[in-house]
Amino acid sequence: MRVLVVGATGGSGRAAVGALADRGHGVTALARRAGAAFAGRAGVRAVDGDVTVPEDVGRAVRGQDAVVVTLGISEHPVAVRLRGSRDTPLDVRSRGTAAVVAAMRQHGVQRLVVQSSYGVGETRDRLPLSARLVFALLLRPQIADHERQERAVRDSGLDWTIVQPVYLTDGDEPAATSPAGDVGGMHVSRRALGGVLAELVTDVGGGRCLTVSGAAVAPAGPGLPAVGRGRAS
C-alpha cells in the first residue's frame, strides 16, 4: 500500500514510518523537515510541508491508499502551558487533521488512522484521579485540541480508526490493544505503537477507537497518558 504519515518526524511518526517501511509499504513522510530526517531511508519518500497549509497536505495525500496522523507538540508540557509552543501551533492536531480529512475527501482516499491520547473522549472517565488533575491543570489546551481532532475524525465520513495510547516511552514495552478502553501498564513504547499504527492501515471497516497500553491488561493505575513531551510533531 501507499501510506502517508503526517507528523512524521516526531517520536510516534518515526516509529510508524519505520514499521510501515519494514512491512513493505510505500511510505510518504510529511513534516516541516522531513527531508533531513529521512534522507537515504529506503522505501520512504520525504515531503517537506506544513500540515496547516492545505496545499501542502493535498500534494502529499494525492495518490495514497491510507493516511496515518501522528501530530503533536514535542516540547515539555509545562513549558507549553507557561509560555506556549515555540514553533508549533497549539491547535496543530485539530487544524492538521481537518486539512488531512479535506484532502482525503478531495482525492478519494478512505483509510485514516489517527493517534490521539488515552483519556480523551470516551476514555476520559477511565483516567485515575491523578491524571485527571494533570489534564485539568496542566494539559487543558492540548486536551481540548485532542477533543476537536477526534470530532473531526468521527465526523469525516471516512474509514477511520482513532488510536489512544497511554504514556509513551523510548523503551521496549510491548503493546496491548483494546476496543473497550481496557489498559494494562500505563507505559508503552513508541516502537510498539508504531507497529500498531502500521497494522491498522490494512484493517478496513473502521469507525472505532482503540486503546494501546502496556501488554498485561489490568485496571488502570496512576500515570500520565501520551499528551506530554515526546509526542509526535
User: What pLDDT digit, counting tens, does each position of 69-121 carry?
Assistant: 999 877 666 666 666 667 777 899 999 999 999 999 999 999 999 999 998 98
At 75 the pLDDT is: 63
| pLDDT of amino acid 83 | 67
Kindly state the cell numbers that stand for 208: 472505532
Residue extents of the structural domains in the chain: 2-214
> Is 2-214 assigned to CATH 3.40.720.10?
no
Main-chain dihedrals φ then ψ at residue 102, nearest 5 degrees: -60, -45
Q: Which residue has the higher pLDDT, 218 or 57?
A: 57
Q: At residue 233, does pLDDT exceed 60?
A: no
The predicted-structure confidence for 109-145, as pLDDT tens digits, reads as follows 999 999 999 989 888 888 777 777 776 666 777 888 9
pLDDT exceeds 90 at position 168: yes
Beta carbons of 23 and 8 less than 8 angstroms apart: no
In the prediction, which pLDDT does 153 show? 98
> Taking the model in full, what pTM does it have?
0.88
Cβ neighbourhood burial of 141 (10 Å; 0-12, 13-18, 19+)? middle
Query: For 182-197, what is each residue's pLDDT tens digit?
Result: 998 889 999 999 999 9
Instruction: Identify the pLDDT of residue 39.
Output: 93
If you average pLDDT over every residue of the chain, what do you get?
88
User: Would you state the torsion angle of the CA atoms of residues 205, 188, 114, 80, taken in this order, to the nearest 10 degrees?
Assistant: 160
Q: How far apart are CA 199 and CA 210, in angstroms?
A: 12
How does DSSP assign 3-36, residue by residue? EEEESTTSHHHHHHHHHHHHTT-EEEEEETTHHH
Q: What residues contact residue 199 under an 8 Å CB cut-off, 6+ apart?
A: none
Locate the DSSP E strands across the chain.
2-6, 26-31, 44-48, 66-69, 111-115, 159-165, 167-169, 175-178, 187-189, 208-214
Do 141 and 90 touch, CB atoms closer than 8 A?
yes
* Position with higher pLDDT, 3 vs 186: 3
